[in-house]
Amino acid sequence: MNVHDDVRRRAESARRAASALAAAEGTVRTRILDEVGRLLADRHVRSSILSANAADVDAAREAEARGELSPALVARLELSPAKLDGLADGVRTLASMEDPIGRVDVRRKLDEGLVLERETVPLGVLGVVFESRPDAVVQIGTLCLRSGNAVLLKGGREARRTNEVLVEMLRRAVAAAGIPEDVVVHLPDREAFAALLDLHDLVDLVVARGSSAFVAKVRASTRIPVVGHAAGLCHIVLHPPAAPEMAADVVEDAKCGYPAACNAVETLLWIPGTEDALAAVVARLQRRGVTLRGCAATRALHPDLEAATDADWDLEYGDLVLSIRRVEDLDAALAHVATHGSSHTEAIVTDDRAAADRFLRQVDAAGVFHNASTRFADGYRYGLGAEVGISTGKLHARGPVGIEGLLSRRYRLRGQGHVASAYGPGKRAFLHEDLPVDFE
Amino acid sequence: MNVHDDVRRRAESARRAASALAAAEGTVRTRILDEVGRLLADRHVRSSILSANAADVDAAREAEARGELSPALVARLELSPAKLDGLADGVRTLASMEDPIGRVDVRRKLDEGLVLERETVPLGVLGVVFESRPDAVVQIGTLCLRSGNAVLLKGGREARRTNEVLVEMLRRAVAAAGIPEDVVVHLPDREAFAALLDLHDLVDLVVARGSSAFVAKVRASTRIPVVGHAAGLCHIVLHPPAAPEMAADVVEDAKCGYPAACNAVETLLWIPGTEDALAAVVARLQRRGVTLRGCAATRALHPDLEAATDADWDLEYGDLVLSIRRVEDLDAALAHVATHGSSHTEAIVTDDRAAADRFLRQVDAAGVFHNASTRFADGYRYGLGAEVGISTGKLHARGPVGIEGLLSRRYRLRGQGHVASAYGPGKRAFLHEDLPVDFE
């Protein structure tokens, strides 16, 4: 069987399994998650996970020695008993949450005996592709199970052995609850994932986690809707009065916390009157070994900075590099952000509340922050629980995508033989009376 | 200037105007809608709308005489003072509703002095294409204004004069409130709309209203997300015990109310034990002049029916034609709907509540109905107010799309210099304490 037929057959099987998972009582989905938590703590299961992981790490270290993999990537690949404890904790949190399926957010009496409800339903079948961190198999897989969706997962090549064992563990928990185990499917390689991207009749949503270039490539290769961030070019604006110490703290955290993250800052914009804050930021980042590239006005104050070119304003460095530009006023800052921003997360540091409010109101991005680091843009930090990814699109889900982004809604109407032609001018009128709902 | 450059320039202008509309206070958007309502009642404005419409209708009648337009289309084209009164009523309802922008549905204290909010924001710029009914200009235009979005509208060719006058009226109301009038733009022809479909950097959403084939064509011609129903192939299932009178009422309404509508029924499925209900439906529809096409088992009971072929189960007739098929049981009915349905609206007629509940739970469609006509699937009937279209997709908006479908959300974080690296194992813990929100 060729890879296309094979992946189509698996997606069809996943679709049938998704129907069974969605139609089951919420207690069944809870039981599956409880079992995943139990398996993650089981001695035999742990030992098989850790030995598969050790094989992956050994191979990765050899590749690192050959210069084919970065040390950072190898470090992210490694699992430990402590990491498995953390994963089990996360799964238990998901297991204890209220069932998100079948929750009614609209309940409306259209007429006597005719009641409309809108309830949450799963999306159906998801395709998820992500980088080497094998923890993602458990985090994404259990989010999908909690929300009643089937998922076909493709992880990084370096973690293939670990991912296979983790997917097998999820399938074991699914089967133990009497649901077809194909609700979770492991896709072994890029060819299989490429085949999945053709299945727009079977797959409802693709979640892509990886570099901007990678997400853009996935998006261009499929007619299935894709959730992911095509870029993360975040700005911090210094507006007077800006406290130097706060400015240095926020920019340092936003740049140095994890420079490869999509929520790291790439460009600092400063407005005249914030020279002291700028000086504090420059001094702090130079101590942290950050390469600073300034516009001419910035270099007039800090001649030791590299010269920025126009190209710098559109670069997502993903590294310990920051570009710095002087802008005349808030309007100029807003214009720069609108032109060069990626609608991910934009921040302003100032004690001027009115200026901050205008910034928060006028910037069109998934996250708009005042006196806080851009690094807070994250599902866990937002308190959404785990996330499958961050969306910079405006439709469906925006920002970190958790359970809510994996749900759709359905209208349910119960009548007693009601017909639409009975209503209209000179005929019956609708009541449209809202009734109490299950949740806010 | 060629049509591509011209449309791009207008979309850029609409984008700037959208920012101004979104940043304005809600009272400004209300004032615009009040002014639209006032203009629709103004004697001079009315006379210019009705004379433009008379010219469109005259031209359409000539085309009808040449056999180029259907009488139904010409009838839908015509405006009257009573229709303008109805439009003005609708605009006043929109004007009196609470501002949907800036409403907070998540408010969470992440830590002392660090508060996250999620608020509604407009999508930005919409492109909308619709059929000949010129009322749609006012309905769609005012929905966009209420929700803070700019819109580029393309209506039917037959209504071009009327649409131009109506758009001019909307622009006049916008300008009177001090907002750039390019927040509403009229696209004169298909070439202009085709050019718009290329502007995925400027247009956030396309709404397409028209035939299934037309919506499918729009979807295939653009990388911009499209809201619309690609098909409306709705079923009604008769499950025993089914009251004959109710079955006849519901199916008659669903087929004959407006056969060209997407929520009309196309196929009736009956389960053994509903022969009396089937007979009542057949008799009723035959009296209404509906062509009935039955499977062999159906024709064994009703030999006067035409013979259905397998192709019939996939046909959206859009006309007074209904296909009828016997299915063995509820499982067979569910399987038929899953295979041939278009995820629009599916109904069951039965007094068996358990069977109905199973149908409502297991059918994957935007609307699932019990003992009610599929024709209720409509934004006005649901009590959502006006709608820009009906979505059969699962992402973003599902079912009738009103104000809610024209909004996105944005996370707003206010801190006091908070940095993300202060949190984690052995460091500060997040509070994640939910605070009261503005609305449910």
Sign of the Cα pseudo-torsion (A326, A328, A330, A333, in order)? negative
Helices (H), A66-134: 71-77, 81-96
Residue B440's pLDDT is: 46
Residue reference for tokens 């259990």: A142
A59 CB-contact burial (10 Å; exposed 0-12 / middle 13-18 / buried 19+): middle
Question: What residues form DSSP beta bridges with A106?
Answer: A118
Q: Are B121 and B22 in contact (CB under 8 A)?
A: yes
Residue A439's pLDDT is: 57
Q: Give which of A110, A205, A350, A376 to mutate to test B binding, by max B Cβ within 10 Å.
A: A376
Question: What residues form DSSP beta bridges with A128?
Answer: A153, A207
Residues in chain B within 8 Å Cβ distance of A360: 412, 414
Q: Do A368 and B437 touch (CB under 8 A)?
A: no
Residue A368's pLDDT is: 96
Note the pLDDT tens digit of each residue in A210-258. 877 888 889 888 888 888 876 789 999 999 999 999 999 999 999 999 8
State the Cα–Cα distance between residues B30 and A216, nearest whole angstrom: 40
Q: Are B212 and B260 in contact (CB under 8 A)?
A: no
Tell whether B367 lies on the interface with A, counting CB pairs under 8 A.
yes
Q: Do B408 and A419 touch (CB under 8 A)?
A: no
When CB atoms are compared, the residue of A19, A378, A417 closest to B250 is A417
The CATH number assigned to the domain with range B3-227 reads 3.40.605.10
Geometric angle at alpha carbon B303, from B301 and B304, rounded to 5°? 130
When CB atoms are compared, the residue of B253, B356, B420 closest to A257 is B420
When CB atoms are compared, the residue of A19, A376, A417 closest to B420 is A376
Residues in chain B: 440
Residue A300's pLDDT is: 98
Tell whether A410 lies on the interface with B, counting CB pairs under 8 A.
yes
Give average pLDDT by consecutive 10-residue segment, chain B, 440 residues: 92 95 94 97 96 96 89 86 90 91 93 94 94 87 96 94 97 98 95 95 90 84 82 94 98 93 94 98 98 98 97 93 98 96 94 96 93 92 81 82 89 95 90 81
Tell whether B436 lies on the interface with A, counting CB pairs under 8 A.
no
Tell whether A63 lies on the interface with B, counting CB pairs under 8 A.
no
Q: Are A32 and A142 in contact (CB under 8 A)?
A: no
When CB atoms are compared, the residue of B204, B381, B421 closest to A253 is B421
Q: Is A289 left (phi over 0), alpha (psi -120 to 50) or beta?
A: left
Residues in chain A within 8 Å Cβ distance of B225: 225, 395
Tell whether B83 lies on the interface with A, counting CB pairs under 8 A.
no
When CB atoms are compared, the residue of B204, B395, B420 closest to A375 is B420
Which of B303, B338, B309, B336 has its CA nearest to residue B321?
A: B309
* Concatenated DSSP letters of A127-186: EEE--S-THHHHHHHHHHHHTT-EEEEE--GGGHHHHHHHHHHHHHHHHHTTS-GGGEEE
Which of A199, A232, A198 has its CA nearest to residue A214?
A: A232
Question: What residues form DSSP beta bridges with B307?
Answer: B294
Residues in chain A within 8 Å Cβ distance of B396: 395-396
B residues 172-191 closer than 8 Å to A (CB)? none
Q: Which two tokens stand for residue B77?
A: 């084209």
**What is the CA A77 to chain-centroid distance, rounded?**
19
First to last CA, chain A: 49
Residue reference for tokens 């079992």: A35
Q: Where are the domains of chain A?
A: 3-101+117-227, 234-381
A114 CB-contact burial (10 Å; exposed 0-12 / middle 13-18 / buried 19+): buried
State the Cα–Cα distance between residues B288 and B284, nearest whole angstrom: 7
Residues in chain A within 8 Å Cβ distance of B370: 412-415
Which of B89, B93, B73, B92 has its CA nearest to residue B81?
A: B89
Residues in chain A within 8 Å Cβ distance of B410: 364-368, 398-399
State the Cα–Cα distance between residues A42 and A28, nearest whole angstrom: 21
Residues in chain A: 440
Question: What residues form DSSP beta bridges with B118?
Answer: B106, B411
Residue A385's pLDDT is: 72
Residues in chain A within 8 Å Cβ distance of B125: none
Residue A131's pLDDT is: 79
State the Cα–Cα distance between residues A269 and B134, nearest whole angstrom: 48
Kind and range of the H or E run holding A122 = strand A114-122
State the Cα–Cα distance between residues B279 and A225, nearest whole angstrom: 45
Tell whether A367 lies on the interface with B, counting CB pairs under 8 A.
yes
Q: Give which of A207, A346, A418, A431 to mutate to test B binding, by max B Cβ within 10 Å.
A: A418
State the Cα–Cα distance between residues A146 and A33, nearest whole angstrom: 8
In degrees rounded to 5, what are phi and psi of residue B204?
-85, -30
Q: Do A415 and B369 touch (CB under 8 A)?
A: yes
State the Cα–Cα distance between residues A336 and A294, nearest whole angstrom: 15
Which of B292, B330, B440 has its CA nearest to residue A107?
A: B440
Contacts of residue A57, defined as CB under 8 A and 6 or more positions apart, other chains included, come to A74, A77, A78
Residue B423's pLDDT is: 93
Kind and range of the H or E run holding A8 = helix A3-23
Tell whether B239 lies on the interface with A, counting CB pairs under 8 A.
no
Tell whether A406 lies on the interface with B, counting CB pairs under 8 A.
no
**pLDDT tens for chain A, residues 1 to 440:** 689 999 999 999 999 999 999 989 999 999 999 999 999 999 999 999 999 999 999 999 999 999 888 887 888 899 999 999 989 988 998 999 899 999 998 899 999 999 999 999 999 999 999 876 899 999 999 999 999 999 999 999 999 999 999 999 999 999 999 999 999 999 999 999 999 999 988 999 999 988 778 888 898 888 888 888 767 899 999 999 999 999 999 999 999 998 888 899 999 999 999 999 999 999 999 999 999 999 999 999 999 999 999 999 999 998 999 999 999 999 999 999 999 998 899 999 999 999 999 999 999 899 999 999 999 998 889 987 778 878 888 888 888 888 888 999 999 999 999 999 999 888 999 999 999 887 54
Q: Which two tokens stand for residue A10?
A: 């698996």
Q: Is A24 left (phi over 0), alpha (psi -120 to 50) or beta?
A: beta
A3 CB-contact burial (10 Å; exposed 0-12 / middle 13-18 / buried 19+): middle
Tell whether B261 lies on the interface with A, counting CB pairs under 8 A.
no
Q: Is the peptide bond before B425 cis (omega within 30 degrees of 0)?
A: no
Tell whether B253 lies on the interface with A, counting CB pairs under 8 A.
yes
Q: Which two tokens stand for residue A292?
A: 């600073």
State the Cα–Cα distance between residues A269 and B218, nearest whole angstrom: 41
Predicted TM-score of the model (pTM) = 0.86
Q: Do B367 and A243 touch (CB under 8 A)?
A: no
Q: Are A344 and A377 in contact (CB under 8 A)?
A: yes
Q: Which two tokens stand for residue B223?
A: 């990388």
Residues in chain B within 8 Å Cβ distance of A245: 417
Place domain B234-381 in its CATH homologous superfamily: Aldehyde Dehydrogenase; Chain A, domain 2 (3.40.309.10)
State the Cα–Cα distance between residues A79 and B197, nearest whole angstrom: 47
- Angstroms from A282 CA to nearest CA on chain B: 17
Label each residue of chain B as H, E or C.
CCHHHHHHHHHHHHHHHHHHHHHCCHHHHHHHHHHHHHHHHCHHHHHHHHHHHHHHHHHHHHHHHCCCCCHHHHHHHCCCHHHHHHHHHHHHHHHHCCCCCCCEEEEEEEECCEEEEEEEEECCEEEEECCCCCHHHHHHHHHHHHCCCEEEEECCHHHHHHHHHHHHHHHHHHHHCCCCHHHEEECCCHHHHHHHCCCCCCCCEEEECCCHHHHHHHHHCCCCCEECCCCCCEEEEECCCCCHHHHHHHHHHHHHCCCCCCCCEEEEEECCCCHHHHHHHHHHHHHCCCEEEECHHHHHHCCCCEECCHHHHHCCCCCCEEEEEECCCHHHHHHHHHHHCCCCEEEEECCCHHHHHHHHHHCCCCEEEEEECHHHCCHHHHCCCCCCEEECCCCCCCEEECHHHHEEEEEEEEEEEECHHHECCCCECCCCEECCCCCC
What order of strands is seen across the sheet that includes strand B265-270? A433-434, A104-111, A114-122, A407-418, B367-372, B345-349, B234-238, B265-270, B321-326, B291-294, B306-307
Q: Are B326 and B298 in contact (CB under 8 A)?
A: yes
Which of A388, A61, A348, A72 has its CA nearest to residue A209?
A: A388
Tell whether A225 lies on the interface with B, counting CB pairs under 8 A.
yes
In degrees rounded to 5, what are phi and psi of residue A213?
-65, -40
When CB atoms are compared, the residue of B205, B373, B394 closest to A419 is B373
Q: Do B360 and A412 touch (CB under 8 A)?
A: yes
**Amino acid code (one letter) for A264:** A
CB pairs under 8 A between A and B: 213
Question: What residues form DSSP beta bridges with B389?
Answer: B401
Q: Which two tokens stand for residue B361?
A: 């739970």
User: What interface predicted TM-score (ipTM) does this complex get?
Assistant: 0.86
Q: Do A414 and B245 touch (CB under 8 A)?
A: no
CATH 3.30.720.210 fits A3-101+117-227, yes or no: no
Tell whether A134 lies on the interface with B, counting CB pairs under 8 A.
no
